[in-house]
Chain A
Amino acid sequence: MAETETKKKGYAFSEEGMRKLKGLMKDYPSTDALLLPALYIAQDEFGYLDDAALQYVADLLKAPRSKVYGVATYYTMYKTKPTGRHLIQVCTNLSCSLLGAEHILNYLENKLGIKVGETTPDNRFTLITVECLGSCGTAPMMQINDTYYENLAEEGIDRILEGLK
Chain B
Amino acid sequence: MNDILLKNINRPNSIEIETYLKDGGYKSLEKALKEYTSKEVVDIVQKSGLRGRGGAGFPTGKKWEFAAADKNTPRYLLCNADEGEPGTFKDRPIIEKDPHQLLEGIIISGYAIGAAACYIYIRGEYDYGAKVLEKAIAQAYDKGFLGKKILGKKFDYDIYVHKGAGAYVCGEETALIESLEGKRGQSRIKPPFPVNVGVWGKPTVINNVETLANVSHIIKNGPEWFAKMGPEKSPGPKIYSVSGHVNKPDNYELVMGTPLKDLIYKYAGGIKDGKNLKAVIPGGASTPVLKPEHIDVKMDYESVGAVGSMLGSGAVVVMDESVCMVGVARRLLKFFAHESCGKCSPCREGTHWLVQILDRITANEGSIEDIDLMLDICDNIKGKTFCPLGDGAINPVLSTIKHFREEYLMHIEEKRCPVGYQHSRWCL
Interface residue ranges, A against B (CB under 8 Å)? 27-30, 32-37, 39-40, 67, 70-71, 74-78, 92-95, 97-99, 101-102, 105, 116, 129, 131-139, 143, 146-148
Is residue B86 within 8 Å, beta carbon to beta carbon, of the partner chain? yes
Which residues in A have their C-beta under 8 angstroms from that of B127? Answer: 146
Is residue B168 within 8 Å, beta carbon to beta carbon, of the partner chain? yes
Contact of A97 among B123, B339, B427 (CB under 8 A): B427
B249 lies within 8 A of A93 (CB): no
Is residue B404 within 8 Å, beta carbon to beta carbon, of the partner chain? no
Is residue B181 within 8 Å, beta carbon to beta carbon, of the partner chain? yes
Which residues in B have their C-beta under 8 angstroms from that of A146? Answer: 127-128
Which residues in A have their C-beta under 8 angstroms from that of B185? Answer: 74-75
> Other than the known A36-B182, A99-B244, A99-B245, what 4 A-B pairs have Cβ atoms closer than 8 Å?
A32-B183, A95-B243, A102-B428, A137-B249
B183 lies within 8 A of A71 (CB): yes
Q: Which residue of B lies closest to A28 (CB)?
A: B160
Q: What's the nearest-Cβ distance from chain A to residue B336, in Å?
A: 10
Alpha-carbon distance A40/B165, docked complex (angstroms)? 9
Alpha-carbon distance A137/B250, docked complex (angstroms)? 5
Contact A75 to B183, CB < 8 A, known contacts A92-B427, A133-B125, A148-B128: no
Alpha-carbon distance A164/B381, docked complex (angstroms)? 45
Alpha-carbon distance A143/B328, docked complex (angstroms)? 23
Which of B27-35, B64-72, B87-95, B188-196 contacts the other chain? B87-95
Chain B interface size, as a band, is 35 or more
Which residues in B have their C-beta under 8 angstroms from that of A70? Answer: 184
B427 lies within 8 A of A33 (CB): no
Which residues in B have their C-beta under 8 angstroms from that of A29? Answer: 200
Contact A134 to B165, CB < 8 A, known contacts A29-B200, A139-B249, A146-B128: no
Q: Which 5 A-B pairs have the closest CB atoms?
A: A76-B166, A75-B165, A102-B427, A136-B243, A35-B182
Alpha-carbon distance A17/B106, docked complex (angstroms)? 29
B426 lies within 8 A of A137 (CB): no
Is residue B323 within 8 Å, beta carbon to beta carbon, of the partner chain? yes
Select the residue from A32, A97, A136 with max chain B CB neighbours within 10 A. Answer: A136
A137 lies within 8 A of B241 (CB): yes
Q: What's the nearest-Cβ distance from chain B to residue A136, in Å?
A: 4
Alpha-carbon distance A101/B181, docked complex (angstroms)? 35
B89 lies within 8 A of A77 (CB): no
Residue interface bits B382-420, CB-to-A below 8 A is 1, else 0: 000000000000000000000000000000000000000
Is residue B242 within 8 Å, beta carbon to beta carbon, of the partner chain? yes
Contact of A95 among B87, B160, B163, B251 (CB under 8 A): B87
Q: Which residue of B lies closest to A92 (CB)?
A: B426
Q: Which residue of A lies closest to B131 (CB)?
A: A146
Q: What's the nearest-Cβ distance from chain A to residue B292, in Å?
A: 16
Contact A27 to B160, CB < 8 A, known contacts A95-B86, A102-B425: yes
Q: Which residue of B lies closest to A138 (CB)?
A: B249
B181 lies within 8 A of A40 (CB): no
Alpha-carbon distance A4/B164, docked complex (angstroms)? 22
Contact A32 to B182, CB < 8 A, known contacts A97-B331, A98-B428: yes
Q: Which residue of B lies closest to A131 (CB)?
A: B335
